[in-house]
Amino acid sequence: MFCKAVKVVFRPDVFGPLLRQFVRKYNFHTKLPYRNLPVMGVTVSSSREKKVFLSRKSVPQPSFASFSTTGTLTTDTGEGTSVESSTMIEVNVGQYDDCLQDGTMRTIDIGEGKALLVRENGEYSAVGHKCTHYGAPLSTGHLSNGRVRCPWHGACFNVKTGDIEDFPGLDSLPKFEVVIKNDNVIIRAHPEQFTSHKRVKTMVKEDTSCDKRVFVIIGGGGAAMKAAETLREEGFRGRVIMITKEAHLPYDRPILSKKLAATADSLKLRSMEFLKDHDIELMTKTEATALDNNQKTVTLSNGTVLNYDSVLIATGGKPRSLSIPGSDLENIFLLRSPEDANQIGVYIKSNLLSSVKRNSPLSVASFVPGKNVVIIGTSFIGMELASNFADKAASVTCVGRSSIPFANVLGEKIGAMLKKTHESKGVKFITDAAASSFKGDRGKLTAVCFNNGTEVPADICIQGVGVSPSTDFLKKSSVPQTSRGDVIVDKYMKACEGVFAAGDIAHFPLKMLDWEKVTIGHWQISHKHGLTAARNMLGGNEEIDTIPFFWTSQYGKSIRYCGHAHSFDDVLIDGSVDEQKFTAYFAKGDKILAVATMGPGNAAAKAADEMFEGKMRSASEIRAGL
């Protein structure tokens, strides 16, 4: 019936794109029973009838196909081919030996979309090619031990399954089938897999007839969202109740200081429909006011007392503010939530621009032009704001305790370079002085005064002076806490019987520091904590195993930081700090505790993998190579 090999000559460079355009335009590709289009290097096969239409000719359906650049189609029916019941694309991407070097990966265009082809330990696999967080090309990331790590913010994906294993981002990658036939590497995919570069893992539905347990998640941030999904992914059929005092669905908080006009809705991590579909109950505008870990109850601001079988505390931080005279003046802001930005909009509406509509989503950014801005605190958030305002405001002044911003985190050389960059954009720094009062006129801020007698004109002041944990509601509980209020957990993110904690408020043991306990406020960590805690709430025994990964963006340039160094005694720099192209190693004794990078490439991802696998070089080895 079927030929062993068929040759069809045509001009895919001319005819192929036109036909493809036509078929896509009229949506034929979803209607036709046979889906074999002359796309370069691609054939689509159907199990229904083994026929292919090409240039009005009907030829037997190939098991494998490849279109050479000269337009010659060669087919081979092969043997033992398992064709899926639905329509599939097959593409021959080349010879086993030549396709990829071992330990490398490449983005492959397969007509309907792209895939990341990986070869590791002699085995080929193929998954989605774009990171599910912000879409970085994963082929430029770092491949190691069955995982590809994103070059931008460090998310990790299993190259065999496509599953996300470290974060940020919630979704996994699509996974494509790879078969080796007659020494050819063949990728098979369903066209639907290309409709999104993200794959939501399968989740179970609630069924309280088979599981009566109630798991309560206090908080509605990254840690909470990841935990809620993980419970369903791991097969939990009891009730999942997520409580947040915010009015919003969980949203992408790090964006707030980078895209100031973003609304909570535009930043949401999941839609309400998604939560409903997966039976995740969300109580917004509801605060947990007390927890009784002996009675296993959570009291809510609306008076409800919830009984739980297991509870996750993921309440994040609340921004601190200065208690100095004048703190109650208008135009002094914090930045933790979209409302913080919108408060400024309210001010504009009532005081400056009568034309602004009620409740319009105004932001810090809309207020700034022509104004004097003072930012108290030279934290990453403060400096990201400064970079946002530099070309918009009349003046931007940053107030910091140390003479060089970030010196305690990034060292003096990098801190000085960043300061210089800000200064070159017109940002002024006041260091070695503390704000002592806010001065105002008719209730509105006019200046910030300092303990050395100076004052700086200010129409707006944003305080970025750190956060404290939102854990006041635990006061009457016996949940273990640090003096600061962080919840102390073990390797399994467990605080005490039935109580787990995750995210910014968790004081947890960090493997790379020989399980020394730390509190780390990174977006990535919040997700990883949420995942690990949820698995252990279900009775798992999974240790928290991650390398902290942080990023900041200022003037369009990113600094990526992995590892964790409370303190360091040397910074070894490979590259040029002045040119903003470097890898900096933070050493304590002979051990590298953290790495910061700037510039293109995957150096941060590579360093994070080396730390994760315990393969990071010693300080003396790095010094010898510099």
Ligand X SMILES: Cc1cc2nc3c(=O)[nH]c(=O)nc-3n(C[C@H](O)[C@H](O)[C@H](O)COP(=O)(O)OP(=O)(O)OC[C@H]3O[C@@H](n4cnc5c(N)ncnc54)[C@H](O)[C@@H]3O)c2cc1C
Q: List contacts with ligand FES (CB under 6 A).
A: 131, 133-134, 136, 150, 152-155, 168-169
Output the smallest distance, CB 248 to ligand X, in A.
8
Structure tokens belonging to residue 258: 């980078």
Q: Shortest distance, CB of residue 61 to ligand FES, whole angstroms?
A: 38
**Rounded distance, CA 399 to CA 159, Å?**
46
Of 10 and 134, CB closest to ligand FES: 134
The listed partner (ligand FES, ligand X, none) that binds 416, CB under 5 to 8 Å by sort, is none
Report the residue number, 153 or 253, with the smaller CB distance to ligand FES: 153
When CB distances are held under 5 to 8 angstroms depending on the partner's kind, the choice from ligand X, ligand FES, none that residue 152 binds is ligand FES
Smaller CB separation from ligand FES, 166 or 233? 166
Which CB atom, from 283 or from 595, has the smaller least distance to ligand FES?
A: 595
Rounded distance, CA 308 to CA 243, Å? 13
Q: Which of 274, 283, 292, 299 is nearest to 245 (CA)?
A: 283
* C-alpha dihedral (364, 366, 367, 368), degrees to nearest 10: 90
| Spatial distance between the Cα atoms of 428 and 398, rounded to a whole number of angstroms | 6
Q: CB of 142: closest distance to ligand FES in angstroms?
A: 12
List residues binding ligand X (CB under 6 A): 218-224, 243-246, 253-254, 256-257, 287-288, 314-317, 335-336, 381, 470, 473, 503-504, 521-524, 526, 550-552
Residue 402 CB, nearest approach to ligand X (Å): 20
User: Which of ligand FES, ligand X, none does residue 287 bind to, with CB < 5 to 8 Å depending on kind?
Assistant: ligand X
- Least distance from ligand X to the Cβ atom of residue 134, Å: 11
Q: 232: which 2 tokens?
A: 């369903």
Which candidate, 148, 150, 86, places its Cα nearest to that of 117?
A: 148
76 binds, among ligand X, ligand FES, none (CB under 5 to 8 A by kind): none
Q: Which is nearer to ligand FES, 437 or 558 (CB)?
A: 558
DSSP assignment letter at 172: B
Report whether 278 contacts 232 (CB < 8 A): yes
Residue 301 has phi, psi (to 5 degrees) of -60, -20
For residues 16 and 141, which CB has a smaller minimum distance to ligand X in the complex? 141
Taking the CA atoms of the chain, what radius of gyration do you get in angstroms? 28
Name the β-bridge partners of 172: 199
Quick one: 133 or 522, whose CB is closer to ligand FES? 133
Q: Which is nearer to ligand X, 218 or 572 (CB)?
A: 218
Binding partner of 133, given ligand FES, ligand X, none, CB within 5-8 angstroms per partner class = ligand FES
Among 243, 209, 213, 210, smallest CA distance to 228 is for: 243
Which does residue 609 bind out of ligand X, ligand FES, none, counting CB within 5 to 8 angstroms by kind?
none
Tell me the closest approach of the beta carbon of residue 319 to ligand X, in angstroms: 7
134 binds, among ligand FES, ligand X, none (CB under 5 to 8 A by kind): ligand FES
* 42, 93, 149 from 71: Cα distances, Å: 12, 15, 37
Partner from ligand FES, ligand X, none binding residue 534, C-beta < 5-8 Å depending on class? none
Minimum distance from CB of 210 to ligand FES (Å)? 36
CA distance 102 to 85: 32
Concatenating the DSSP letter of every residue in 132-150 gives TTT--BGGGSEEETTEEE-
* CB proximity list for 163: less than 8 A, separation 6 or greater: 157, 172, 173, 201
